Each structure stands twice: as C-alpha cells, then as structure tokens.
C-alpha cells in the first residue's frame, strides 16, 4: 500500500459562489469528539509534555514556510511524509498553543496542487484538539477560500451527523455546480459523505444488539477491503484522505464509546465479526485465506478498542501458528 496519495488538484483563486447558507444552520458551539486520552483514535498514545515545545518549534517553522509569499513546499515525498507525521503528532499533543499554527498550515497549503493533504491533516489535528465546528463550517461557506479548504472543512463537519448541516452543504455544492466553480465536484463528494454518515447513524440506532453494532462499526472503521491487505499495514501509515474520511472517524469514535460502555460484549463481538460484504470483490482461494483475512481485519480494528475491552479481546483471540500469548 502506498502510504500517501499524491493526487493533484487545480485551484481557482476566486469564486462567484455566494454563501447563501452561511447562517442557515445553527452550528454547535464546540465539537464533542474529545472524550478521552485516545484523541487520535489510531492506537497511539498522547504526546509527552517535554515533547510539546519541540512540536511547537517545528510546526512554527512549517507554518512560517506555508505563509511566506513564495511558499517553500516540502521538496520531496520523504519531507512531505515527515510534515504529515509532525501535524499528526500535534493532533495528539493536547496543547492549545498549537491551534493558531495549525490554522496557518491548513489555510495555506489548501491551495498547493501537490501537497494539499497537509491542509487536510492540519484540519484533522484541529478537530482532534477540540476546535469548534463553527471554524470548519465558516471555511465551507467562504466562497473566496480555496476549493480544497472548503471541501476538507466540509469533511470535518461531516464527522458529526447533522441533517440541517448536510442539507446546507448540498445547497453549497449544487450552487457551485450551477455556477461552474472549478472542481465543484469536490464539494459534491464531501456533501455526499455528510449524508452517508447520517445514514450510518440511523443504521446503528436501528440495531438492538452490541454484536450488530460492532459489526457495522468495525467494517466502517476499516473503510473498505483495498485499504489494508498488506501484512505490514499500520494505522499511522494511513493515507490522509482515508484516515480523515468522515465515516471512518465517526465509526472509530462510536466504537470507542460502545466498547467503553460494554467492554466484554464489544470484545466478544469483534472476535466473531465477519465483515460482511468486504471480501466480496477479493480473489479468495480457500477458506483458510478467508480466515487469515478476517483475523487480520479483527486485529486491526482491535487497535481502536479502549484498554479494558482490548485486554479481553487479546485474551480470547485465537493465536496463529507459532505465536505465544
């Protein structure tokens, strides 16, 4: 799997789209996703206090380059990967002093045709640090903002299901299409994601058992078969546009909440989850291969369980040949 997606986009500096829905939706005063120490939902712990000063210094240098008139972008894929890792670490740092710097990175790199994913990662870090949703919503309806900043901000808002907000985003996307805003399809795609998370929330609420709920959340915590078939897949290597996908973030957050409330039931359910539909397009040669894939999928999702539930999962998971408990 390629760690990062270096897709290019075209940015138009000005738009004619009028933000008719800027005040149409009452946004929450603060996002509600920060509920425990696992703020990045990636299986990694928080950043130690002594490291925060170093993070601030490195992020300040990145922000300074980002806001310079002749911005110096990362000059290689390795440098870009290092910048991504830096921004992700900032999202785990629980340090409000990083917020202004992350805003600079998010708003500056959104217009970069090659490294715009730095903008997505910076917005993601802001969300994980508890930035109010109003900040992201205002980026969406700012018709003068880079299209990628608007799209990525919409994706952040989509993590927290809200029908009124989804309606407004669809209006934004449709107006952009009618007025032939360059790359308006980006907004349509993000608006679709917002609607999809609402549908997932409704499905989750319709299930009566923890087993059914875990099955749904586990599948969407992965986000699809093709994203992780290699044996050395690691969460920290997830591509930005997958790691920040609203349905993935929403599913992982709900998985943590459910497993915190019902640690035993959640662990037991994950141990037998079949990930229905995820193997339909795979070239499966044997029942043994199916079991190996399911084993890998379950282990991957277990990274998002809170400690009590994870301990139960690990205690009862079957061991592959040669592995000791």
The answer as to whether 268 is a domain residue is yes
In a domain, residue 22? The reply is no
Instruction: Evaluate whether residue 2 is within a structural domain.
Output: no
Q: Is 192 part of any domain?
A: yes
Judge whether 164 and 128 are in contact, CB under 8 Å: no
Domain boundary among 203, 236, 254: 203
Residue 152, domain extent: 133-203
What confidence score (pLDDT) does residue 277 get?
Answer: 72
Q: Are 95 and 56 in contact (CB under 8 A)?
A: yes
Tell me the CA distances in angstroms from 4 to 115, 116, 296, one per residue in order.
10, 12, 21
Indicate the residue among 102, 131, 160 that finishes a domain.
Answer: 131
What total of structural domains would you count in the chain? Answer: 3
Judged on CB neighbours under 10 Å (0-12, 13-18, 19+), 218 is buried
CA nearest neighbour of 168 among 190, 146, 152, 147: 190
Residues whose CB is less than 8 angstroms from the CB of residue 242 and which lie 6 or more positions away in sequence, other chains included: 223, 227, 248
Tell me which residue of 233, 199, 204 sits closest to 1, measured CA to CA.
233
Evaluate whether residue 164 is within a structural domain: yes
Residue 95 resides in a domain: yes
Same domain, 223 and 313: yes
146 in Cβ contact with 123 (< 8 Å): no
Given this model, what pLDDT does residue 107 score? 94
Longest CA span, the chain? 63
Give the pLDDT confidence score for residue 48 in this predicted structure: 61
Please give the Cα distance from 1 to 23 (Å, whole number): 42
Instruction: Going residue by residue through the chain, which has 325 residues, state the pLDDT in tens, using 9 for 90 and above.
Output: 333 332 333 223 222 222 333 333 333 334 444 433 333 444 344 556 667 889 999 999 998 887 775 655 566 777 888 999 999 999 999 899 999 999 999 999 999 888 899 999 999 999 999 999 999 999 999 999 999 999 999 999 999 999 999 999 999 999 999 999 999 999 999 999 999 999 999 999 999 999 999 999 999 998 754 544 455 555 667 788 888 999 999 999 999 999 999 999 999 999 999 887 776 656 666 777 778 888 888 998 999 999 999 999 999 988 766 566 5
Question: Interhelix angle for 163-178 vs 184-206, to 10°?
Answer: 160
**SS3 at position 234:** coil
Single out the residue of 173, 160, 184, 168 nearest to residue 246, CA to CA: 160
Q: Counting Cβ atoms within 10 Å, is residue 242 exposed (0-12), middle (13-18) or buried (19+)?
A: middle
The total of other beta-carbon atoms located within 10 Å of residue 152's CB is 28
Alpha-carbon dihedral sign for residues 179, 161, 238, 88: positive
In a 10 Å sphere around its CB, with 0-12 CB exposed, 13-18 middle and 19+ buried, how is residue 1 labelled? middle
Is residue 108 domain-shared with residue 61, that is, in the same domain?
yes
| Same domain as 192, residue 145 | yes
Cα–Cα distance between 300 and 297 in angstroms, integer?
A: 5
Last residue of a domain, one of 105, 131, 157: 131
CA distances from 202 to 33, 189, 267, 276 (A): 19, 20, 23, 19
> Considering just the CA atoms, what is the radius of gyration of the chain in Å?
20
The pLDDT, as a whole number, for residue 282 is: 60
Q: Distance between CA atoms of 227 and 223, rounded to whole angstroms?
A: 7
Q: Assess whether 217 and 308 both reside in one domain.
A: yes
């Amino acid at each position: 799997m390629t760690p990062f997606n270096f897709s290019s986009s075209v940015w138009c500096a000005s738009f004619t789209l009028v933000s008719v829905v800027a005040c149409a939706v009452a946004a929450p005063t603060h996002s509600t996703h920060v509920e425990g120490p696992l703020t990045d939902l990636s299986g990694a712990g928080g950043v130690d206090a002594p490291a925060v000063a170093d993070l601030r210094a490195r992020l300040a240098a990145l922000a300074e380059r980002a806001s310079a008139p002749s911005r110096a972008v990362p000059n290689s894929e390795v440098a870009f990967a290092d910048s991504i890792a830096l921004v992700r670490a900032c999202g785990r740092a629980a340090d409000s002093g990083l917020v202004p710097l992350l805003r600079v990175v998010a708003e500056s790199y959104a217009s970069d045709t090659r490294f715009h994913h730095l903008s997505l990662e910076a917005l993601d870090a802001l969300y994980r640090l508890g930035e109010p949703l109003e900040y992201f919503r205002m980026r969406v309806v700012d018709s003068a903002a880079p299209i990628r900043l608007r799209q990525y901000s919409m994706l952040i808002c989509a993590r927290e299901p809200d029908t009124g907000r989804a309606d407004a985003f669809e209006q934004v996307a449709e107006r952009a299409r009618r007025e032939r805003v360059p790359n308006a399809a980006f907004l349509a795609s993000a608006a679709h994601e917002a609607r999809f998370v609402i549908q997932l929330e409704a499905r989750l609420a319709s299930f009566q058992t923890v087993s059914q709920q875990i099955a749904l959340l586990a599948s969407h915590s992965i986000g699809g078969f093709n994203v992780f078939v290699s044996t050395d897949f690691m969460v920290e290597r997830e591509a930005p546009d997958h790691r920040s996908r609203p349905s993935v973030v929403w599913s992982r957050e709900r998985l943590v909440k459910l497993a915190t409330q019902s640690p035993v039931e959640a662990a037991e359910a994950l141990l037998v989850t079949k990930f229905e539909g995820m193997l339909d397009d795979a070239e499966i040669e044997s029942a043994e291969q199916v079991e190996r894939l399911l084993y890998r999928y379950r282990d991957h999702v277990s990274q998002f369980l809170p400690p009590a539930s994870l301990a139960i999962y690990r205690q009862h998971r079957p061991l592959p040949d040669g592995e000791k408990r």
